[in-house]
Structure formats: C-alpha cells, structure tokens
A and B are shown apart, each in its own frame.
Chain A
Amino acid sequence: MFAYLVKRVFQAAVVMFVISLISFSIQDNLGDPLRELVGQSVSEEVREQLRDELGLNDSFLVQYGRFAKKAMRGDLGTSYFFKEPALEVILKKLPATLELVLGATFIIIGLSVPLGVFTAIRPHSIFSRVIMGFSIIGISVPVFLTAILMIFVFSVEMRILPSYGRGDVVHVFGYWSTNFLTWDGWKHILLPSAALASIMLPLFIRLIRSEMMETLQSEYVRFAWAKGLRPRRIWFVHALKNTLLPVITVGGVQIGTMVAYTILTETVFQWPGMGFMFLEAVNRVDTPLIVAYLIVVGFIFVVTNTIVDLIYGLVNPTVKLARMGA
C-alpha cells in the first residue's frame, strides 16, 4: 500500500512537472509583460533596465527554475488585470466551477447507470433504441449548441429556469459559497450542469451498456442463473458490480476532462467560475492568470486520476494494493 502510494505520488509529480513546463513556455511566448506593466510611454532604456530587474533576459531554464520555485510556494505570479495573486483569483472562482462539475457528475451517474443497464438488459426494446439513437446525436452535438437550445426551451419559451449566473448562494467557508443550499441556487445550477453533462452522458451510457452486455455473457452470470437467483440480483449485484469496475477508471479521467469543458458552459451561462474567468483572461492577455489556470486545472486532473486509481484498487478485490506497487 505504501509503496503504491509513493509510486502514484511520484507519477503525479512528473505529470505536474510537464504541465508546468508547458504552461511556462506559453507564458514565455505570449505577449510582452512589460507592455502590460508599464504601458507605451516608457523609454527603451528604462524598459531594458526593467527587463534586467525582472530577470526577463535570463536563459529559459533559469527563468523556469525561478518560476517553479515560486510555484511550489503557491506563488503563480500576479494577475495584470486584477492586480492580485493569480492563484487567489482562481481559488475564488474555483468553487463555482467545482460545483458545476459536481452537478454534472451527479446527473451523469444518475442517468447513465440506469439507462446503460436497461439498454444492455433489453437491447431490442423501443425505449433502448430511442436512447441509443439520442446518444449518437448527443455525442455529435457541440456543447454550446446544447446549452443555447436548453436556454431557448427552458428560459425563453417555458420561463421556468434562469439562464445565467449562480443565483442565491450560501457562504460555507473561505472562498466557498454553495448553490446547493437554496432553491434558487438549485434552479440556477440545473441548466449549466445539464449542458455540461450532455457531452459525457452519451459516452457513459454506451460504455456502461457495452461493459454490461459483455458481463452478462460471462460464465459467472450464467452460473448465477443456474443457481436460480432472481433477475434483479443477477443484474444489479452480479453483473453491475463487474460492469462498474472498468467504468470507474474511464469515468475518473472523463470527469477530469470535464473541468476543461466548463470554459464553454460557463461562458454561455455566464457562470462566475474559473472557466469564464479563463476566457476573459485570454481576451485581456493576462498571462500570469492563464498560466495559473493551466496549472490549477492540470493539478485537479492529476489529483482526480490518482484518487480514481486508489478507489479502483479498493473496490476491486482482485487488485491487491501491495501488489500494484510491485
């Protein structure tokens, strides 16, 4: 167990190193920080002097070393626009984004498991055919189109759900205010979460369906029938448990990926999270904020993957964590 943990943490560190390197080279090539800092009216000599002082004339490696050292201490630079530490700007926006991802995750789990299981058990029923048809459409429709369509139907035509913002939130602690404690908050988060979920939902339904169908063909499921068990027990205990094991791995990666998709969703719904912030930062060429965003998202991605691997090891009795370390 300990060896496995160490190994996973080491892998995560390597991935973080690569992400930071990429992010930093973006910073190096994007815009001129001096122009952002001092504007046009400063003479060339003063600029050159400032460059020296800021270390912008040092070699790439030296600059990266300085950047990495600061990053380790949580210093990801100062946002040009907000004039605040970039990390802090992001941390303020992070809870809104995480709640959005959480909402979408709930929708995905709540729908994909029953639908995937049903379409596997009754592949020839009309309902299954409809679900599978929709899932093909769902995969090919871009998320902003789904989002706009949803706004049109539920906000403009039916007027039952708000189309932008977070609504009433309740402060929990630190930078975290939550949507999940007020009725208005629930109403506001529903559409954006649904739009975000719509990208991954068809994929998950199909994944669960195909894994489930394969499991239903297995010898141990046939043996379960031969034992005279009830269908419900065979489907939901014998088959589903084995179906969800591989789904957990894929699922974890996809939920990490979903953080990136929040950029589109948050923009359409003007959701005050870090995805919306990122797009604004790009428009303002707020390089430290862009770099900080990439690093934070990379960090979230690495952490979810590591946690998912650990959960997989815990729920799968055939994987001994001690052996995984070997």
Chain B
Amino acid sequence: MSLLSVRDLVVKFAMRDQTVTALNGISFDLNRGERMGIVGESGAGKSITGFAILNLISRPGFIDSGHVMFDGMDLAHTSDKALRTIRGNRIAMIFQDPMVTLNPVLTIGQQMVETLQAHRSLTRRDAEKIAVAKLREVYIPAPEERLQQYPHELSGGMRQRIIIAIALLLDPQLIIADEPTTALDVTIQADIMELLLELCQSNNVSLILITHDLGVVSQMTERTLVMYAGRIIESGRTRAIINDPQHPYTQGLIKALPQQTLPGERLKQIPGNMPALSAIPPGCPFNPRCEYTVDRCRTTIPELVRVGPVEVACHEVQRMNRDTETEEQTA
C-alpha cells in the first residue's frame, strides 16, 4: 500500500487571455519511508507539483482534474477543514527561500507553538517544550533563547534549520522539500541536505525532494521523477536513471553535471530553453531541443512506457528498444 498516490493530476492557470496547463497528467506513487526526487529545469512544474499535493495552488491557478490519494482521502477534492488536518500535521512542506518563509513580525517561538496548537490541544508551555526538543534535533544551539528571537536575527542556514524543525514538529509521514538549499550559501548546502536525510531516515519519514540538481538526487533519494514542461518524461530508480538515462533530456541533464566535465572544459548545457506554458510545441514538448527528433515527435505526444528498469516518454527510445527486442528474438 503506498502512502501517497497521485493520479492524472492536471493544474491550470487562468491567465487574462488564455488558460495554460502547468501540470499535464502527473501520476506517481510513494511508499512509506521512501525518498523520491523530482528534477527538471526551472519552470518544469516541480514546485506546482509539491503545492498541488497539499492543495495549496492559489489563484489564478487551480487543480483542474486528477486525484491526490493520501490515507484514503483525495486531497484534491476534500474540504478545507479536512485539508487542515493534513497540512503541517501529516504532510509538511519546506520552502525554497528561508529568508521569506518565516513571518518577520512573529517570534520563532510563536511560529512553532501555533503550529503545534493548530493540531493538538497543548498549553503554550508544553508546546514550547516540544519546540525546543525539535530545535535540538536540527542542531540549533541554545534553542530556548531562539524561541524569543525574530527571524531577522538569524542567518539563512539557521532559519532553514528552524523551518525543518517546524516541519518535524508533528512527526509527519511525508515531507515535501522544495529546493531547500538553493537560496543558501554553498558551504552549508551539504550540511542541510545531510541533516534532512538523517532526520528522514531516523524517523522513517517519506520525502519528496524537489531540486534541479541530479547530484543531490543521487545522494538523497531512491527514486526519481524527471519533469519537463508540466509532464513526467522519465521515472524509475535513481541509480538506474543516473547510470543509464534513457530520455534525451535526462541524458542532457546528466552531461551538464559538473562531475561529468573535465577541469577547464565548458559545462555541456542542453541548447535552447524550456518553452513557456503558453508556447508548448505540439507533439513531444522537448522536440525543438532534441537531437533525435523525427516527424512523429512533432505530432504525437509520447506516453510513459516501461523500458528496462525505468519508464520513459520518448518515441525514439521506445522504437530503438523495440528494434533491439526484435533483433534478440530473431537471433
């Protein structure tokens, strides 16, 4: 039984002159304690996926269709009251930029206590005790004093640790972390990731880690989704995807990793840019940037199909795969 099951999720934005589709039929499952990465370039729809799971898409965006099944409940179609019992309690979220995630006019203590009190009937004193314990878990020095402080008195790294502590307050079953280190100093990025990994493992918490960095995904997760223009174009075990990427886009992402580049050599970027939502080409959305494009890619959208250990949405990969299969059979 999976913990989270997303089915055919479609999210749209009603812009002034047209309605654009930001997520186009996203489906995946996540098991208890499993850690999954979502990768893709900026604008692929990674954050929207994270927010849509918690039904936190705000105007002009909306969930058009699909299901987010969590513990027998469809989070995409349930009451605000039912959603409140899930948000922050059983599914917690860590945002990208810790400098703007905490409320500047409330103390750390207030922001932690209110979270606990929203889900459990606790006195302030008891809530503060739990808060201090969680701050200790994320290695915040002098946690009692932090409760009295305002966010601006703390560094970015410290704030992100506090946000992680807030996410852990109610012992959730799933944490969605949206690029949790992108806004931080490079020197502390690894520390924060390590902390997150340690906490998920020791508490048996599932993790959805959103990032544009395949290197991070390979260290942190067991499974990976690769997104492009609002679709999943490849998914499977992280090791399989890193070692033997099938989709030309995934291959491009891996070639662009600094580890794949010799010193002094230029990073191999994928040419071109991801299309804007209003200008997604017909057929495979990646076709204008792909070196294997054939006519079919410009007319027909490829489905996700199992190819070896992974699922991939690419006509050419599927064709080549079929060819090898026939060869093997004739041989």
Contacts and interface: CB of A to CB of B under 8 A. Distances in A.
Interface of A: 217-231, 233, 237-238, 241-242, 245, 316-318
A238 B106 contact: yes
B97 A242 contact: no
A324 B163 CA distance: 29
Given A220-B102, A220-B103, A229-B114, A317 B84 contact: no
A230 B118 CA distance: 7
A264 to B, nearest CB: 38
Interface residues of B, number: 30
A226 B53 CA distance: 11
A219 B178 CA distance: 13
B165 interface: no
A241 B105 CA distance: 7
B240 interface: no
B238 interface: no
B285 interface: no
Given A220-B104, A228-B119, 15 more contacts: A220-B103, A223-B102, A225-B56, A226-B56, A226-B88, A226-B93, A227-B92, A227-B114, A237-B106, A241-B103, A242-B105, A316-B105, A317-B105, A317-B150, A318-B152
Nearest to A221: B103
B115 A229 contact: yes
Given A219-B95, A220-B101, A318-B152, A226 B118 contact: no
Given A220-B100, A237-B106, A318-B104, A227 B118 contact: yes
A233 B56 contact: no
B101 A227 contact: no
Nearest to A223: B101
A242 B151 CA distance: 14
20 contacts: A219-B97, A220-B103, A222-B95, A223-B101, A224-B103, A225-B87, A226-B87, A227-B87, A227-B166, A228-B89, A228-B118, A229-B84, A230-B84, A230-B118, A238-B103, A241-B103, A242-B103, A242-B105, A317-B104, A318-B105
B58 interface: yes
Interface string B39-72: 0000000000000001010100000000000000
Contacts of B87: 225-228
A317 B92 CA distance: 27
Interface of B: 54, 56, 58, 80, 83-89, 92-93, 95, 97, 100-106, 114-115, 118-119, 150, 152, 163, 166
Nearest to A226: B93
B95 A229 contact: no
A223 B118 contact: no
B317 to A, nearest CB: 37
Contact of B58 (A222, A227, A228, A238): A222
Nearest to A240: B105
A226 to B, nearest CB: 4
The 7 closest A-B pairs by CB, nearest first: A228-B88, A228-B87, A227-B88, A219-B100, A317-B150, A220-B103, A226-B93
B115 A228 contact: yes
Given A238-B106, A242-B105, A316-B105, A226 B54 contact: yes
B324 to A, nearest CB: 46
Contacts of B56: 222, 225-226
A222 B86 CA distance: 15
A242 B84 contact: no
A225 B115 CA distance: 10
Contacts of A245: 105
A237 B106 CA distance: 9
Contacts of B102: 220, 223
Contacts of A225: 56, 87
Nearest to A316: B105
A230 B93 CA distance: 17
A226 B100 contact: no
B101 A219 contact: yes
Contacts of B118: 227-230, 233
A218 B89 contact: no
A242 B58 CA distance: 20
A242 B103 CA distance: 9
A225 B102 CA distance: 12
Contacts of A220: 100-104
A317 B152 contact: yes
A237 B117 CA distance: 14
Contacts of B89: 228
Contacts of B119: 228
A227 B150 contact: no
A233 B114 contact: yes
Contacts of B97: 219
Scoring B85, B88, B97 by chain A CB atoms within 10 A of each residue's CB, the highest score goes to: B88
Contacts of B84: 228-230
